[in-house]
Amino acid sequence: MKTIQLPINGNDIQKLRVGDEVQISGHMVTARDMAHRYMTDQWPDWLVPLLRDGAIYHCGPVVSQNNGVYAALSAGPTTSIREEPYAHRVIARYGPRLLIGKGGMGDKTLEAMRQHGAVYIHATGGAASVIAKSIVHIHAVHMLAEFGAPEAFWELEVENFTGVVTMDAHGGSLHRTVREASQKQLFALLGDT
């Protein structure tokens, strides 16, 4: 298990490889479809210091509020491929080092990760309440009125958030490897039809 303390620099990102199990602590920001569209349509400068050398978590957390204090009840990963049209531009502009979600991403994102020094971390789907326990504090929420709770930018403080590196800054992709192996096996089973 490798430990990641956010913010993280490019040299430390280069040490991460596909298959590495990680525990993440520090500041991360959630962003889903509306947030990604906003980031690439509006290019808001206020997001740069929140994302530079940090993490974007593809997640729409379920939160409670008590006397103005938010707490995460559930925080499972969203399917990341939905952000494929935006992620390469987000990486280039805002400089996050980690993208976290489920299911992996495509070739444009993988190339942006290679060029700019970032990795994709697969979080466990179906474990939303367990993941929420790693969120020790919610610092702030942005664009809540405009986007609604699932699509807003939530600033989270996490401790020992676990995942697996499935796309790395060297062009490695476990998702591509599995897809290619599966296709090869399928063609072998089907024969020359």
The tens digit of pLDDT for each residue in 63-97 reads 999 998 999 999 999 999 999 999 999 999 999 99
Nearest to 161 by CA among 21, 45, 48: 21
Using N-to-C axis directions, what is the helix angle for 84-94 and 33-42, rounded to 10°? 50
pLDDT given for residue 166 in this prediction: 98
Pairwise pLDDT comparison (152 vs 187), residue with the higher score: 152
Pairwise pLDDT comparison (115 vs 191), residue with the higher score: 115
Tally Cβ neighbours within 10 Å of residue 81.
17
Section 6-16 average pLDDT: 95
Pick the catalytic residue from 36, 88, 116, 142.
Answer: 36
The tens digit of pLDDT for each residue in 135-147 reads 999 999 999 999 9
Rounded to whole angstroms, the Cα distance separating 105 from 89 reads 14
The tens digit of pLDDT for each residue in 91-132 reads 999 999 999 999 999 999 999 999 999 999 999 988 899 999
CATH number of 111's domain: 3.20.130.10
pLDDT given for residue 109 in this prediction: 98
Section 172-182 average pLDDT: 80
Q: How many domains, in total, are found in the chain?
A: 1
pLDDT given for residue 192 in this prediction: 61
The tens digit of pLDDT for each residue in 15-32 reads 999 999 999 999 999 999
Domain that holds residue 111: 2-190
> What is the pTM assigned to this prediction?
0.92
Note if 139 is an active site residue: no
Nearest to 54 by CA among 96, 19, 86: 96
Nearest to 30 by CA among 126, 107, 105, 140: 140
Alpha-carbon dihedral angle through residues 159, 163, 166, 170, given to the nearest 10 degrees: 30
Rounded to whole angstroms, the Cα distance separating 34 from 50 reads 17
* DSSP β-bridge partners for residue 31: none
Exposed/middle/buried for 32, CB within 10 Å: 0-12, 13-18, 19+? buried
Pairwise pLDDT comparison (98 vs 183), residue with the higher score: 98
pLDDT given for residue 193 in this prediction: 55
